Amino acid sequence: MYQAPRGTADILPEDQRYWSYVASVTAAAAQTSGYSRIDTPLFEDTGLFTRTVGEETDIVSKEMYSFKDRGGQEVTLRPEGTAAVCRAYLEHGLHNQAQPVRLYYLASMFRYDRPQAGRYRQFHQFGAEAIGDAAAAVDLEMIQLAMSMLARLGLGGMTLVLNNIGDAADRPAYIEALREHFRPHLAHLGPDDRRRFESNPLRLLDSKELARETFVGDAPKSTDYLGAEAQAHWEELVGYLDALGVPYRLDHKLVRGLDYYTRTVFEVHPDEGGAQSAVCAGGRYDGLIEQLGGAPTPGIGFAAGIERIIANLRSQAVEVPDVRPSPAVIAYTGAAAKTAAVRLATELRDGGTAAIVAPERSLKAQMRYASSIGAPTVLILGEAELAKGVVTVRDMATAKQREVRRADVGTAVAGP
């Protein structure tokens, strides 16, 4: 027997309601903030990701679904959305439109990870990007979009975590300061953390092994190493958040895994959550467009994990409407009635009324079938009805039924 590939999942009819709910609510939230939908290809040139996300990041170095197509092109199933949106922004000259350009997407992403709770190899993200405006007000807008989207979904207990990792120019001094700070403790570090010390000292800040160590809490803060402009930008953003009463938690240990982030970085976590719990994460990427060959252009965005959002909808028991159809069922007895049943079903569908013909069983079994699929009404066609030119219309909720002339069935079923 075949199984779905590791880390992938089938979305069965009974679960579809969560997906359509999330799709419609997130789209409405995005549009309320002025964001337009964009869709980009499922795969891209591999170089798009290696150059933007970062060669040394785990995403690029070990998690990409890359392959060579029949023409010899190196392509990769997209592991994240921002790079592709920026590519499209440049490719279609969106920098010639009024800036900033506000875009959102809802799409599958692919990462070759070991699956665990809240993490899949094929997963889905809602993402929003605002490209072409460096103003702190846009940072605020992006954060508000993330938070309002979660609120619209009916999710509570979400905490915004915020930090500022400075501009690319600020980074070297900060990294050096971190190394200085951790160097005396090198002897106490495990192999993973020694590796971090060398490759990416920022990662030491969110190391789980070191989470209890006081010398991590005492580590230098990136916000103390901001250049003048980044500092002003940061103070403006925090000022907005405070003025508007947006609750947030400043976390100097929040660093993000992708190379392109600058200045503002943020995540949203449920207060109750397991290991892989962030539902939203994002930040500013002021160097990315330029890195892709465009003019220096600021940008900011975030992505939300749909599977994680749905997990929270379930755990918080948020009411989500069922989207499965509930067609009228046409029951019949006798061979002659079958043709009449098929004809009636056709007419109803042509008139826009959902209708199906019951499976060929006893009337009792047809009724049971109609009941179990949640049919609101059953239309019964038997010898008696055929002879009289009527259809028996049974309301399944009230168990009341009446005879309706054949010609009037369409309006009787469709009407309230």
Partner RNA sequence: GUGGGCGUGGUCGAGGGGUUAAGACGCCAGGUUGUGGCCCUGGAGAUCGAGGGUUCGAUUCCCUCCGCUCACCCCA
Interface positions with RNA (CB under 7 A): 3, 5-7, 57-59, 63, 80, 111, 113-120, 123, 125, 192, 196, 203, 207-209, 256-258, 267, 274-276, 278-281, 303-305, 307-308, 331, 333, 361-365, 367-372, 378, 380-385, 392, 394, 396-399, 401
Nearest to 366 by CA among 332, 325, 327, 392: 332
In angstroms, give the least distance from the CB of 266 to RNA. 10
**CB-wise, 167 or 209, nearer to RNA?**
209
Residues forming beta bridges with residue 332, ordered by sequence position: 381
Asked if residue 410 lies in contact with residue 347, where contact means CB atoms within 8 angstroms, the answer is yes
**CB-wise, 135 or 318, nearer to RNA?**
318
Distance of CA 291 to the CA centre of its chain: 26
Asked if residue 105 lies in contact with residue 38, where contact means CB atoms within 8 angstroms, the answer is yes
Using CA atoms, how far apart are residues 239 and 237, in angstroms rounded to an integer?
5
**CB-wise, 103 or 304, nearer to RNA?**
304
- Under 8 Å CB-to-CB from 70, ≥6 apart: which residues? none
Whether cis (ω within 30° of 0) applies to the bond prior to 100 is: yes
In angstroms, give the least distance from the CB of 240 to RNA. 23
**CB-wise, 103 or 146, nearer to RNA?**
146
DSSP category for residue 68: E
**CB-wise, 223 or 277, nearer to RNA?**
277
In angstroms, give the least distance from the CB of 26 to RNA. 13
In angstroms, give the least distance from the CB of 334 to RNA. 9
Which amino acid appears at position 329 of this protein?
V
**CB-wise, 96 or 372, nearer to RNA?**
372
Structure tokens that stand for 5 in this block: 């590939």
Whether cis (ω within 30° of 0) applies to the bond prior to 79 is: no
DSSP category for residue 407: G
**CB-wise, 100 or 282, nearer to RNA?**
282
In angstroms, give the least distance from the CB of 274 to RNA. 3
In angstroms, give the least distance from the CB of 294 to RNA. 22
Cα dihedral: 289, 293, 295, 297 (round 10)? 0
Please count the other Cβ atoms lying within 10 Å of the Cβ belonging to residue 65.
16
In angstroms, give the least distance from the CB of 295 to RNA. 26
